Structure 1
Amino acid sequence: MSQQQPQQIDPMQIPLPQLKQMHQQIGEDLDTFTNSFAQLKSVHAKYNDCSESLNFVNKKNAGKTILVPLTSSLYVPGELNDTDNVIMDVGTGYYVEKPVADAKDYYKRKMEYVKSNLDKLQETINDRRKRLNDVTDLINLRSALAQQEEGQKAKAAA
């Protein structure tokens, strides 16, 4: 069985209202992808902050007073007693106790995963921007040609 080649359409044959609808849809897609990108960047930054904070969990800081986050904006004073293990949030309300080295590895893997998704999403955003620009250029060209035809018809009628 042979595969059929995708049928190519002359962009000049696409009706202008359909082009405008395509432009709107691509714009909405671009907005969605851009918002997702911003959210992923925020997640990456949080993982990075967690990873960096693990650098302060060491023997020389044992017994020192630290601020313990209860929420993203509420911290309470606490004392660092166990410098070998940390309790970490692994998502959806689950917490696990892990050795500091394992926690660092966990956050490293999470950051790499999010970074790879950021890279893929950036490619998609760039592709959508190019498509949006191409459709915008086509709409402008088609509008200019339509105005030119109207001008020629007006001259011919006069």
Structure 2
Amino acid sequence: MNEEEYASNVYLLQRYQENMEEIYGETELIGRLISEYERVIETLQEMSGIEEKESLIPIGGNVFVYGSLKDTKNVIVNVGRGVLVEKPVNSAIDTINKKISDLKKSQEKLFKTADEIRLRMEEISQKLRDKDVQVPPKKD
């Protein structure tokens, strides 16, 4: 293996490592979104059937205001592109479960891509180990 091939393989390993870090970051984000959606479903199930209840409503920055839940049978759901739709709780839960399913599919694709990249990295690393890598010193 000459110096150019060696440098090319090292560069590829670095790029693959960067790709792996990006993929793992995306899978972590997706995991957090899934957890958030699962908590929303739990909350919707708990509040379903409650006639009227006083609650704390988050307004941002960990600040809350008191408010009353007047209608716990219907909720407003963002169905995409900023479109908000009023839905019965059960329908909203179905919509959220679909989002969770889509996120899990995306996460699985990312894991599969990461596995493929990992295999390529192992192949390149093995190639570098197998070839008695002797990088000749640069001549001035």
Give the structure-2-normalised TM-score. Answer: 0.81
Deviations 1:82-110 (A, max 9, x none): 12111234455543321111101100110
RMSD of aligned Cα (Å):
2.5
1:16 alignment counterpart: 6
Q: 1: CA distance between counterparts of 2:66 and 2:82? A: 22
**Superposition deviation, residue 138 in structure 1:** 2.1
Q: Output aligned runs, 1:111-122, within 5 Å.
A: 111-122=100-111
Aligned twin of 2:114: 125
1:46 aligned to 2:36? Answer: yes
Whole-Å Cα distance in 2 between the matches of residues 69 and 93 of structure 1? 20
> In the TM superposition, what whole-angstrom CA distance separates every residue of 1:67-96 from its partner, at most 9, and x where no partner exists?
223337333222121121112344555433
Alignment identity in percent? 26
Distance 1:67 1:124, change over 3 A: same
User: Over residues 47-73 of structure 1, what are the superposed CA-to-partner deviations in whole Å (9 max), with x where a residue is unaligned?
Assistant: 1121111112222x2222122233373
Pick which of 129-138 and 83-92 moved more: 83-92
2:133 aligned partner, one-letter code: A
Show structure 2 runs of 5+ residues with no match: none
Structure with the bigger RCO (C-alpha within 8 Å, sep 6+) is 2
Displacement, 1:28? Answer: 1.4
- Structure label with greater radius of gyration: 1
Picking from 46, 50, 53, the partner of 1:56 is: 46
Q: Which sits farther off after the overlay, 32-41 or 67-76? A: 67-76
1:112 alignment partner AA: S
Q: 1:89 to 1:74 in 2, by over 3 A?
A: farther
**Equivalent residue, structure 2, for 1:146:** 133
Which structure is higher in strand share?
A: 2
Instruction: Name structure 1 gaps, 5 residues minimum.
Output: 1-11, 151-158
1:95 is aligned to 2:87: no
1:109 to 95, 98, 112: 98
Look up the match of 1:74. 63
Cα–Cα, structure 1 residues 16 and 51, in superposed 2: closer, same or farther, change >3 Å?
same
More helix by share: 1
Task: Report how many aligned residue pairs link the two structures.
Answer: 135
SS of 2:133's equivalent in the other structure is helix
